[in-house]
Structure 1
Amino acid sequence: MSSQLGKTNYSRALTVLTSLFFMWGLITSLNDILVPHLKAIFTLSYLQAALIQFSFFTAYFVMSFPSGYLVEKLGYKRGIMIGLATAGLGCLLFYPAAGAKSYPFFLGALFILASGITLLQVAANPYVTLLGKPETASSRLNLTQAFNSLGTAIGPLVGSVLILAVAVKPAQELSGLSPEQLAAYTAAEAGSVQTPYLILTALLFALAVIIGLFKLPQVKEGDTPADAPQGNAEYHAHASVWGYRHLVLGAVGIFTYVGAEVSIGSFLVSLMGQPQIAGLSEAVAGKYLALYWTGAMVGRFIGGVVMRKIKPGHVLAFNALVNALLIALAMSAGGKAAMWGLIAIGLFNSIMFPTIFSLAIEGLGKFTGEGSGVLCMAIVGGAIVPLIQAFFADRIGILYSFVVPLVCYAYIVFYGLKGHYADFTAVRKVAAAKR
């Protein structure tokens, strides 16, 4: 593959792809602003507000396989263009959703928006792993995903200024409003999301046009990874993508990681508003939330370098263990220590998604496209895990509900230490023993 494409082409393509990672990072982290904002406007419980993330991340489960099929038929470039256009349509639908003052309409718009981002993920993530040497795929994807984290860091700041700037009235004050006043208030608050999402609509459509005009290099997955043992029929015995243990366990890893990351981001603003924690307003808490995502950006730049010297699986396990300890510390300490402990998780979250993804997709050969679809389908963890945490938050309190992401990180420790080993590693050992 390197003989077909020069390094210059790789660099140009990776530069263009960073804009995609940035955009979907920004859009995804805006959900963390929508959760407390719409929760207050429509007077929702934690469980009802968690439907925002549920609607968004359910699209990954529903649309990943169709997206994988589309990318297989149309190629990476066209898949990316269609994904951008679909995401743009979802952003555009926020305007009528706000005008109708309808929570279900918002949820529907989020599903369409996420369907477009799902297609982008299915196309762009494996494409990055193929644009270079297999042994540096984790490092390369981490560096590219760092710009995704830049978007997630900027998203809460944008949302705090444009969406949370006007203080939401407390429930007791709302109860004193007449029906006409309440309707006008709800319309004004719901309408605060219109301008940001119209801007996103324009940017996404513009990116689709730019990608269409840009010549991306053509890549093709090989049937066998470069370091797989040659002449071993056992390696080719898997009849489907589901036969690869490290991929299946990696899908569980993606499920738990995205679930934990989204849960923490979704409930941090509400937690920081608790008097016994920090007592911050939503607008101020939204700005602190940006530190959580900024940590992920910084960590990915560091991780991209570290994993050129240390095995990616070991780095993954270490980071997951640190995060489990930080959550345990937060639940036991409370107060501002809990706030800062949970914010620090962003730094150690940094390398997890791209590392799990690249480890899980290693050695799939002709099944790489399908494997990407499986992994992106597992992003539905961002829909399920926040609902589970919301269930516990309504019953045992928001601070102790963070035990849910703690369990998720415990699984990731296992995957980093044991679960990620690809099937052909075992085949190599068998071949060596026979020799």
Structure 2
Amino acid sequence: MKKSNNYLLPFVLVTSLFFLWAFLHNINPILIPHLKKACRLTDTESALIDSAVYLGYFTIALPAGWFMHHYGYKKGILFGLLLYGIGTILFVPAASARSYEFFLVALFIIASGATFLETVANPYITKLGDKATAEQRLNFAQSFNGVGAFLAPIIGGKFILSGIEHTPQELAAMTPQALSDYLSFEAGMVKIPYIVIAAIVFVVLALFFVTHIPEIKEADEKSESSFSWKVFRHKHLRGAVIAEFFYVGSQVGVGSFFIRFSKYVMNMPEKDAAFRWGSIAMVGFMVGRFTGTFFMKYIRPARLLSLYACINIILLLVSIFAHGATAAYALMAVPFFMSIMFPTIFALGIKDLGEETKIASSFLVMSIVGGAFVPLVMGKISDLTGGNIQLAYLVPAICFAVILFFARSQDTKGNNVQVKNTH
């Protein structure tokens, strides 16, 4: 009981970090159409917003794991928050310069900070309690990630999107000065929101600095040699890394082009689409996290993962081949069934790895780079088909098929632990 009480405050504080990287990921569906307007981008070019974020994860994940391995959990959190705060501040000069490249650099730095936070928080949460309920505990903590997931598009839609949607003909008819003024106005819409985000991040940084966060040592921790590529001898980790690559790619792809998709299938205004994505799709994502944690008391995690992957394939096929509201609402239902996927794949991947959990966590976070590539492929398909973003959603459907294969392999081989009913 005493040990559990010692873990309560760290659990609460570390769980609060899940909101920050959720906000980063789920503000992208707002930034993509917004900067597409402000910087006059193609669908493929606008997808580089996702690429900057997820390439940040890919390049920084191993250094973050090394840092955590040598200096511990708390210093990893502090350094991650510092990078996150610096990146958000850089949005202000990027907007003033109306430089797309500057925006991408700022996003890369924010993502680097989020990588430290995520590399620390995911494995740390699994260690704060009974090993048999690690998946359940991580899903519960990730439920608060869902809060950031639904708030980000709502806040972004309200404070970043202007609601002004000029046609190409209207833009062409503007004088050079009027066009420049309009584009500068659009770019400047991000300044105040990102100043507020930076202030919040630095307050959280100060809170962690003055709070005691205990280190948790593994019973088998021996030396630095455990931090190596040899961790891939574990087949379930290899499968999890591949599955996580395709999961994050599908998650990012589904959300990033939703505003474009809803405009294409039913001519929905951008502010309305942003609100619906946050208030329906991302609320579903958050609710799915909580209900998924409950379902895992009775259904094996890998089996539930299989079921949800199947449902998402069906929903995406409906969204691709249906029209109007049917297509849009089928796509809005997808996040509910995505909700358990990242933490469940993650927990299955690091199961029973002991001290190798730290390096395994780094590789799993590196696999988030899938989010850099899937939106690019979708954007390219849209550009090559005259802007048919609906057809591009075949790509995340294929990604969910890969996840289904991983889930079935874990379920049939019994590599996941039955989650105990704690009633």
Measured against the shorter chain, the TM-score band is: over 0.9
Q: 1:316 to 1:222 in 2, by over 3 A?
A: farther
Instruction: Pick the aligned partner of 1:87 from 63, 84, 87.
Output: 84
Q: Which moved more, 1:357-366 or 1:211-220?
A: 211-220
Instruction: State the partner residue of 1:338.
Output: 327
| Match of residue 284 from structure 1 | 272
Query: CA offsets, 1:267-322, max 9 Å, x none?
Result: 11111112xx2211111100011121111100010111111221100011110110
Q: Under a length normalisation based on structure 2, what TM-score does the superposition of the two structures give?
A: 0.93
C-alpha contact (below 8 Å) 2:303/2:411 kept by paired residues: no
* Residue number in structure 2 paired with 1:19: 16
Aligned to 2:251: 261
**Which whole-Å CA distance do the structure 2 matches of 1:181 and 1:331 have between them?**
38
- Deviation, 1:330, is 1.6
Give the corresponding residue for 2:54. Answer: 57
Sort the Cα spacing of 1:420 and 1:103 in 2 relative to 1 into closer, same or farther, 3 A. farther
Deviations 1:53-84 (A, max 9, x none): 00111001100000000111111111011101
- 1:211 counterpart (197, 205, 208): 208
Q: Quick one: structure 1 residues 58 and 126, their matched pair in 2 at CA, closer, same or farther if it must change by over 3 Å?
A: same
Query: Per-residue deviation at 1:388?
Result: 1.1
Is residue 2:232 matched to residue 1:251? no
Asked if residue 410 in structure 1 is aligned to residue 386 in structure 2, the reply is: no
Q: Is the 8 A contact 1:174 1:182 kept in 2?
A: yes
Q: Residue 101 of structure 1: which of 92, 98, 102 is its match? A: 98
Q: Which amino acid aligns with 1:325?
A: I
| CA–CA distance in structure 2, aligned partners of residues 390 and 223 of structure 1 | 46
Distance 1:177 1:394 in 2: 25
Deviations 1:98-129 (A, max 9, x none): 01010111011100010000111101100001
Q: Residues 323 and 409 of structure 1 are in contact (CA less than 8 Å); yes or no, is this contact kept in structure 2?
A: yes
Show the counterpart of 2:187: 190
Corresponding residue of 1:119: 116
CA-based RMSD? 1.8
Which residue is equivalent to 1:75? 72
Q: In 2, distance between residues paired with 1:388 and 1:342?
A: 18
What do the CA deviations read for 1:193-217 (whole angstroms, capped 9, x no partner)?
A: 0111111111111111101111123
1:166 CA drift (Å): 4.0
Q: Is the 8 A contact 2:162 2:186 kept in 1?
A: no
Structure 2 match to 1:28: 25
Q: Matched residue of 2:162: which SS? A: coil
22-31 vs 400-409, which moves further: 22-31
Contact 2:50 2:371 in 1 (8 A): yes
Give secondary structure in 1 for the equivalent of 2:164: coil
**Quick one: which amino acid aligns to residue 126 of structure 2?**
T
8 Å CA contact retained: 2:87, 2:110: yes
Q: Which amino acid aligns with 1:156?
A: P
Match of 1:354 in 2: 343
Distance 1:321 1:421 in 2: 16
Give 1:391 deviation, angstroms. 1.3
Unaligned runs of 5+ in 1: 225-235, 426-435
Find the aligned partners of 2:229 and 2:154 in 1 and give their Cα distance.
Answer: 47
1:126-164: per-residue Cα shift (whole Å, max 9, x none)?
000111111111111111101111101000010111011
Residue identity over aligned pairs, in percent, reads 38
* Residue 387 (1) aligns with residue 384 (2): no
Which consecutive aligned stretches of 4+ in structure 1 deviate over 3 angstroms post-superposition?
419-425
Deviations 1:8-33 (A, max 9, x none): 22222221122111122122211110
State the shift of 1:6 in Å. Answer: 1.7
CA deviation vs aligned residue, 1:323-360 (integer Å, no higher than 9, x gap): 00111122222221111111000100010000000000
Aligned to 1:136: 133
Query: SS state of the match for residue 167, structure 1?
Result: coil
Alignment of 1:301-380 (within 5 A): 301-380=290-369
Matching residue's letter, 1:279: N
Question: 2:421 aligns to what?
Answer: none
Letter in 2 for 1:243: R
The Cα shift of 1:422 comes to 8.4
Partner Cα distance (2:413, 2:235) in 1: 7
Residue 222 and residue 154 in structure 1: after superposition, are their counterparts in 2 closer, same or farther (change >3 A)?
A: same
Amino acid aligned to 1:267: F
Any gaps of 5 or more consecutive residues in structure 2? 417-423
3-state SS of paired residue (1:246): helix
Residues in 2 aligned to 1:52 and 1:239: alpha-carbon distance in whole angstroms = 30
SS at the partner of 1:161? helix
Residues 328 and 187 (structure 1), Cα distance of their counterparts in 2 relative to 1, 3 Å cut: same
> Would the alpha carbon gap of residues 240 and 421 (structure 1) be closer, same or farther in structure 2, given more than 3 Å must change?
farther
Deviation at 1:168, TM superposition (A): 3.5
Q: Secondary structure at the match of 2:177?
A: helix
Whether 1:293 aligns to 2:290 is no
- The residue that corresponds to 2:176 in the other structure is 179
Instruction: Give the residue type in structure 1 aligned to 2:395.
Output: V
Conserved 8 A contact 2:163-2:270: no
Q: Which amino acid aligns with 1:280?
A: M
SS at structure 2 position matched to 1:221 = coil
Q: Give the counterpart letter for 1:263 in structure 2.
A: G
Letter of the structure 2 residue corresponding to residue 131 of structure 1 = L
Structure 1 residues 10 and 36, CA, compared in 2 at 3 Å: closer, same or farther?
same
Q: Are the equivalent residues in 2 in contact too, given 1:359–1:420 (CA < 8 A)?
A: no
Residue 228 of structure 1: aligned partner: none
